[in-house]
Amino acid sequence: MTDKSTDPHCLFCKIVAEKVPAEVVASNDKAIAFRDLNPQAPTHVLVIPRRHGANAAESAEHGLMDALVSLAAEVAEEEGLTHGYRLVLNTGPDAGQAVFHTHLHLVGGRNLGWPPG
Ligand code: 5GP
Ligand code: ZN
């Protein structure tokens, strides 16, 4: 890992480095998936790149968004979400982004309703 790939003050970088515990459900060389601390649905998993990026646009520049979607789909299958699921990328204050390390929310296991929020 290069210096630019991790931020020592970032909560999710600490989860990647296993300095902060998380319930990891899947991982590979590019991404990890772990359960959200405050789940909003029966399945609520965060899928994040190992490399630090502040948001989806930055991680897209790193070429990592495909890896996040693919790992989310694997987790959705493992969780038995045959009726569907939602993938959410909160970006910036209007969307309520609270952690500035890219994270794809995988939510499912109930009817999610539309429009959101
Ligand atoms: P955001 O609002 O930035 O899109 O979502 C951040 C998410 O991270 C929230 O759903 C919140 O519950 C989750 N979260 C915040 N801190 C932790 C933590 O330490 N561990 C885990 N597993 N999830 C966290
Ligand atoms: Zn980070």
Residue 116 lies in a domain: no
Please count the other Cβ atoms lying within 10 Å of the Cβ belonging to residue 63.
11
Q: Ligand 1: which of 12, 37, 47 to mutate, most ligand atoms within 8 Å of CB?
A: 37
Q: What separation, in Å, do the N-terminal and C-terminal C-alpha atoms of the chain show? A: 37
User: Is residue 115 in some structural domain?
Assistant: no
Strands (E), 38-115: 43-49, 85-88, 104-108
> Is 87 inside any structural domain?
yes
pLDDT, tens digit, 9 for 90 and up, residues 43-90: 999 999 999 999 999 999 999 999 999 999 999 999 999 999 999 999
Number of domains comprising the chain: 1
Q: Is the CB of 99 under 6 A from ligand 1?
A: yes
**Binding site membership of 55 for ligand 1 (Cβ less than 6 Å):** no
Domain assignment present for 113: no
Question: Could you tell me the pLDDT band of residue 1, with boundaries at 50, 70 and 90?
Answer: very low
- The pLDDT score that the predictor gives to residue 5 is 85
Asked if residue 114 belongs to a domain, the reply is: no
Answer whether residue 91 is part of any domain.
yes
Q: What pLDDT, in 10s, does the model give residues 3-29? A: 468 999 999 999 999 999 999 999 999
CB 33 within 8 A of CB 71: yes
**pLDDT at 117 (0 to 100):** 83
Residue 95 has pLDDT above 60, yes or no: yes
For ligand 1, say whether the CB of 37 is within 6 Å of any of its atoms: yes
What is the domain-level CATH number for residue 42? 3.30.428.10
Residue 3 lies in a domain: no
- Cβ-Cβ contacts under 8 Å for 19 (sequence gap 6 or more): none
- Residue 6: inside a domain: no
The band of 2, judged by pLDDT with boundaries at 50, 70 and 90, is very low
d(CA 26, CA 41) in angstroms, rounded, equals 18
Could you list the residue range(s) of the whole structural domain that residue 75 is in?
A: 11-108
